[in-house]
Chains A and B, each alone.
Chain A
């Protein structure tokens, strides 16, 4: 089959590789019909996530048609399903608590050796990501093997387009959980750093959860425009001093909750960021925390910090004092996708959530490298790329 494979920093190619098979009893194999490129894929593209090997198949946002099932799969051939990017067994302690992205049993034992010393615990598995998270071949391919297919995939009713439901695999639940982690109360103001796919879904979700005001921050005019479409006020960090603006816009109180939907590769020429770009280039497991620092300093006393943005290593100059002295609460994590898919599918069906607005480009799988290049370097217009194998 054809598949998008990683070969190094800014080097992805479409290669011919062996087709996947059923390996374990609970597996299914899908013929992929749509798959997207994610901001998380850009961290791999930029080579800032450790544990990648040349030839790894990328892609964790995908859907398709079931073409083969193992004896313990509950899926049937011919069904259309969307697959969560988090691989979860459904039966461990964490899965039972619906903390699916903390699953104990999905990351192969020998791969758990990578994250256990780094984080104190082995992380669970994700599709198409680093070997730290299992090294499972991803879905930017013609076919994909789906482990624990009786737990993750959600069957899509006839008559719904791929474009409407594809984002159930990651960014919609991620934006939703980011807003949920804000514990929004009536009258609240929520500030969102980053108007990429995650930030934009967080804006929509926060509004649906009753936030009175949402303030979205980015430097791309078109992305800010999309945020305004969903009722957000916006701040362009190239034009405006973000921290002071947030204080003025909230009468000196600060936002009640803040969302970091930027992650480890913050943009901009703030001094802390310039230093951290350099450190990241040296490969010292350094994260770039400019957006996160700004969020923590801006949020009101007793406020909530929600961090869907991905970080992998260590951060210097963390405003720990502000965290403690202001009495903040902090919630983060890879999304517990399986917890949200059924509810969000219903909201899409009922027209409550708009998903298709985001897609700026549709490309054949063969042109995936062009998709990566532009999603990476022309972020203003390239808001989301969907690949068709």
Chain B
């Protein structure tokens, strides 16, 4: 399998065509099912036989009862992300408009990743990618779409990354409760709570950690 290290993975996923097509492009070899099955309306990452090569892809959509622009603005200020993303310790501005993300890693350690915004449409979309030579090869995008009948905004976040140390890295991450799929789901829920209620629900009874 060829390396995808600097290939814009999500760019391929995002074109909105059927599941099989996105995957086929990633794999560079159309499968049999690709030829018979017509594309459906679900996001490509949900294909039963999704295969993103060396990449792990995490994606989740949440409906938030707030206008698109308001949600976009909050997210676009990356320094806000640590308020609802448990494993993001901080996001600080780097040089040339880049951002430096400090991500919590197992055993109390942390990793820094430098990213650049590669696409941006006000109120609609933010996409970022790690710069060349970054310790984790990752890209992400968040899209904001109006839900029907004034019910708010569909917020879809997708992150693709090459796990440190491949499968083993994921295994370790799982052990430390930082499994990206679970984490991703929780983080979008926290984002929703914060936007809709102004706070993040907790059953803790006291301010300091128990």
Partner-B contacts on A (CB < 8 A): 18-26, 72, 89-93, 96, 104-113, 125, 134-137, 145, 147-148
B151 within 8 A of A: yes
B82 to chain A, nearest CB (A): 15
Q: B200 — which chain A residues lie within 8 A by C-beta?
A: 24, 108-109
Complex: chain B residue closest to A21, CB-CB: B206
Partner-A contacts on B (CB < 8 A): 63, 65, 151-152, 182, 185-187, 189-190, 192-193, 196-207
Query: Which 9 A-B pairs give the minimum distances between C-beta atoms?
Result: A109-B186, A109-B189, A20-B205, A24-B199, A136-B203, A89-B197, A105-B193, A135-B203, A21-B206
Docked-complex contact A105 and B201, CB < 8 angstroms? yes
Docked-complex contact A108 and B201, CB < 8 angstroms? yes
In the complex, given contacts A22-B207, A89-B196, A105-B196, what are 4 additional A-B residue pairs having Cβ atoms less than 8 angstroms apart?
A26-B198, A72-B198, A93-B152, A108-B200
Residue among B189, B201, B204, B206 with max Cβ neighbours from chain A (10 Å): B201
- Indicate which residue in A22, A93, A113, A148 contacts B197 across the interface (CB closer than 8 Å): A148
Task: Pick 20 A–B contacts, CB within 8 A, sort by A.
Answer: A18-B206, A23-B202, A23-B204, A23-B205, A23-B206, A23-B207, A24-B201, A26-B198, A89-B196, A92-B197, A93-B152, A105-B193, A108-B201, A108-B203, A109-B187, A109-B201, A112-B186, A113-B182, A125-B201, A137-B203
- Indicate which residue in A18, A91, A107, A108 contacts B205 across the interface (CB closer than 8 Å): A18
Complex: chain B residue closest to A105, CB-CB: B193
Residue among B65, B151, B199 with max Cβ neighbours from chain A (10 Å): B199
Residue among B151, B182, B202 with max Cβ neighbours from chain A (10 Å): B202
B175 to chain A, nearest CB (A): 16
- Distance A26 CA – B202 CA, assembled complex (angstroms): 12
Docked-complex contact B196 and A91, CB < 8 angstroms? yes
Q: A22 — which chain B residues lie within 8 A by C-beta?
A: 207
Q: B201 — which chain A residues lie within 8 A by C-beta?
A: 24, 89, 105-109, 125, 134, 147
Q: A134 — which chain B residues lie within 8 A by C-beta?
A: 201, 203
- Distance A209 CA – B202 CA, assembled complex (angstroms): 39
Q: A23 — which chain B residues lie within 8 A by C-beta?
A: 202, 204-207
Residue among B151, B196, B204, B205 with max Cβ neighbours from chain A (10 Å): B205
Docked-complex contact A91 and B207, CB < 8 angstroms? no
- Distance A26 CA – B196 CA, assembled complex (angstroms): 13
Q: A20 — which chain B residues lie within 8 A by C-beta?
A: 205-206
Complex: chain B residue closest to A70, CB-CB: B199
Q: B196 — which chain A residues lie within 8 A by C-beta?
A: 89, 91-92, 104-105
B148 to chain A, nearest CB (A): 12
Docked-complex contact B192 and A105, CB < 8 angstroms? yes
- Distance A25 CA – B207 CA, assembled complex (angstroms): 11
Docked-complex contact B202 and A108, CB < 8 angstroms? yes
Complex: chain B residue closest to A137, CB-CB: B205
A194 to chain B, nearest CB (A): 30
Docked-complex contact B182 and A145, CB < 8 angstroms? no
Q: B151 — which chain A residues lie within 8 A by C-beta?
A: 93
Complex: chain A residue closest to B206, CB-CB: A21
> A26-B198, A26-B199, A93-B65 given as contacts; is B206 within 8 A of A109 (CB)?
no
